[in-house]
Structure 1
Amino acid sequence: MDSLEYLEKLEIELFLQGIYDWYGYDYRDYAYQSIRRRIWHRVEAEKVSSILELLDKVLHDTSCVQRLMADFSINVTEMFRDPLFFGQFREKVVPLLRTYPSIRIWHAGCSTGEEIYSMAILLKEEGLYDKTKIYATDINADVLKIAKNGYYPLDNMKKYTSNYLQAGGKDAFSAYYTATNNGVRFNPCLTKNVVFAQHNLVTDRSFNEFHVIICRNVLIYFNKTLQAKVHQLFYESLGMFGILGLGDKETIAYTNQADHYKELSGKHKLYQKVN
């Protein structure tokens, strides 16, 4: 690492420490290159000349910190994303859930909520929704509002319908939403058993015991230290024989908890806690 790279790294560390000390937002263990790109994007957007100048603005301008938090939030999602994951969930997990008198599912890092509605539709079609409580959490309050409202662009429905059918959908996907002038609104009955709440995987602790935890394509933005912390949180939050679902580029392998799970679907990242 040359002197300029070292100086930039030091500035980024100071920046993230300042955000943590002043606002309590902890991004110190996010993947370095990802967070570096997002900081420089905000430097350019705010028309300041350096990372430390951005820090000064963030510390004195709460509207600036909100824009920064929006940059730091990863909100890439869609209905029935990676359809085969949901197909495997129907095949491998639903039979287990049928044996429970009630079901608790945690979607950690739920973003704008497309995955929540996907799960609700799946559970409704399998006759399990009425005995399920879904906890939908994210660090970003703005995306939680979008998730709770259930309004999405009409242009996305063609892609979402295709995903739904590939995931084993049993009905007409259009039966689950109503078209409006501005897009579509998903049926409010799909969120009657959903609790939307802010939760920070970096700093917050477990808040219940769950039968299923879904956290897909979130851990890839964390460094190994933070990944290990979150895996421990999930392990402690899962009941015995509970299910952990991860993203396609994530794995339980090489974690301290690896020996405590068995693969239900290694290819589609579904794991069951066994001890």
Structure 2
Amino acid sequence: MSDAKTIAFVGLGSMGLPMATNLVKAGHRVRGFDMREAAMDALAAEGGERPASLAAACEGAGVLVLMVVNAAQARGVLIGAGALAALPEGAHVCLMATCPPDEVATLAAEVAAAGRVFVDCPVSGGVVGAKAGTLTIMAGAATPAFEAVAPVLRVMGDKLYHCGTEPGQGAAVKAINQLLCGVHLAAAGEAMALGQKAGVDTATLLEIVSGSAASSWMLKDRGPRMLMDEPPVTSAVDIFVKDLGIALAAGRAAGMGLPLAAAAHQMFLAESGAGNGALDDSKVVAAYRRLNGIG
């Protein structure tokens, strides 16, 4: 027998922990599970439960939230580690990670075959949105499944969209979102590197283009960090290596070429390959600098 107010939450990272904490504050019984003991302790300090095992977290839970890194980790939790079998019949599995749409659809079929209900619901908004409960959530699921978990999702995000009735459709929208973010960020890096190569004052350049039709959200947010030698890390280079890879996989699955996404992906790969994958994603500008001999 499942309890809709009892939530098993797997993945208490920089986004997962505040998301789970918001669920606790909203009155849900949240059993948080993570490979890191300190992460589970942190949720317990906020009023969450610290289960003895993954199976204990899932027992009787009406909803399992997976805030893991990728589809492989989600499969490992559900199938390899036995979370799916530990959940009650009819429980809802909410996959909130950014994953390739075709892999999401495959996983959804396995969850359905096991008598549980799958909801594809990746998020956008980063750590800031996770803490504030203002994430954008893009769901792909049958309407009854979406409506069943919507109250839980709305605690974590104030912009909830039902993108389609098939699992994988939420993942497709997230992939498109990340395609645009990655291309916009790479374009900003290219522009700022060109300004540096041309010898113009880059701070003035940034002020001009940020206030013109040339601007983008990514330029205004990441541009100032491109002027720093060691910008604070808000999102790593390797995140866009992964997410643009997912966008390209979505393109392949749809039979569509994505030349701009591919070019941007190469620039993030170059920066990661230089040993800087863990640095702030604004450092993609450094890949352009190296390519063009800019000191």
TM-score normalised by length of structure 2: 0.29
Q: Per residue, is there more helix in 1 or in 2?
A: 2
TM-score, normalised by the number of residues in structure 1: 0.31
Flag the structure with more relative contact order, 1 or 2, with Cα contacts below 8 A and sequence separation at least 6. 1
